[in-house]
Amino acid sequence: MQVDEIEFYNRLLDFNKILYLCHRNADPDAVSSAFALAEALGGTVGLVDGCNKMAALLIDKLGIDAIDKPDPSEYDITLVVDTSTSSQLNDIKLGKYCVIDHHSTTALTENAEFYLHRNATSTAEIVFEILKCMDAPIMRRTALGLLTGIVTDTGHFKHATAETFRNVAEIVITSGVEYADVLEMMAATPQDISMRIAMLKCASRATIERIDDWLVVCSHVNSFGGAASSMFLNIGADVAFIGTERDDTIRVSGRAKREAVNAGVNLGKIMEEISSRYEGTGGGHAGAAGIDVVADMNEVLNECKERVRMILENKPNPSICESF
């Protein structure tokens, strides 16, 4: 059952032991949201399968007490944070659970006791609304976490909306934390040579297809698929699909520039539709989404590309038009 922020908060008060569970390779949006709720309501922050480097830095700098691979059966309820599919939780048995999420599509709400879903640019913004309903003070650590979650999930505000900036301004005003504090903390993230190698290998394997004035890139890599797909947008692609393989499961990470999204590309819907054909899971945002299926990687990548082709054919690229 969908509830609003006040009802979500009131329902959580019925439980003593709450597990705030983040998706595998948790990002700052998931970790900061779980941390903020745990600080305000009590409970435990859990990582189903580790976290990325920025989230690890956040945990270290803010002194977040997070446990790895928690057992949901040991808690009264599990609050699944910033997660749209069960595969992102490694299909663990949740028991009684609820959901807070911002992705355009989510498959976890069907069996949830209750859920709060908003089409915000980050889960951190939804959590901030809950804290306001509680009249909870926005402490420095909480503010630093939420702001980092917002900055990273919006691609340093590339996908931000007017509401995003309003939330950021309000967090800064109410907490006293300055935006420069967030940037300084994020700049401390160490460079990973394994990621740099992966990016170079992924680039060397890339296939580039031109659809009128649009460029769609496909490639594969052993890890860092999300980072690789974002990298291709930064160096010229309009849409990028990167495949990674884990055991028997194929993961495809997709990214699309705002111009492609405005032209009709919705990667969240594309991934959801394709995943249903393979009895897998998929979804996300219009400009950033993923899919987990058991299938041939090249087949899935090609299907993703063809779906985008059908949308973009004969549609002008605004970034090209503006150059004349």
- Taking only the tens place, the pLDDT of each residue in 133-191 is 999 999 999 999 999 999 999 988 988 999 999 999 999 999 999 999 999 988 877 66
Structure tokens at 263: 């032209």
Residue 7 has pLDDT above 80, yes or no: yes
Q: Are 24 and 88 in contact (CB under 8 A)?
A: yes
Alpha-carbon distance of 207 to 127, in angstroms, equals 40
Q: Are 98 and 92 in contact (CB under 8 A)?
A: no
Residue at 25: amino acid letter: N
How wide is the angle at C-alpha 46 spanned by C-alphas 178 and 32, nearest 5°?
15
Tokens 């985008």 locate to 308
Per-residue pLDDT, 324 = 38
* Strand spans (E) along 118-248: 207-211, 214-220, 239-246
Residue 106 has pLDDT above 90, yes or no: no
Share of the chain above pLDDT 70, in %: 98
Report CA 303 to chain centroid distance, whole Å: 23
Q: Are 62 and 141 in contact (CB under 8 A)?
A: yes
pLDDT band at 319; cut points 50, 70, 90: low
Q: How many other CB atoms are there within 10 angstroms of residue 11's CB atom?
A: 16
pLDDT tens-digit map of 229-270: 999 999 999 999 999 998 888 999 999 998 999 999 999 999
pLDDT tens-digit map of 203-234: 999 999 999 999 999 999 998 898 899 999 99
Helix (H, G, I), strand (E, B) or coil at 105: coil
* 193: alpha, beta or left? (left if phi > 0; alpha if psi -120 to 50): alpha
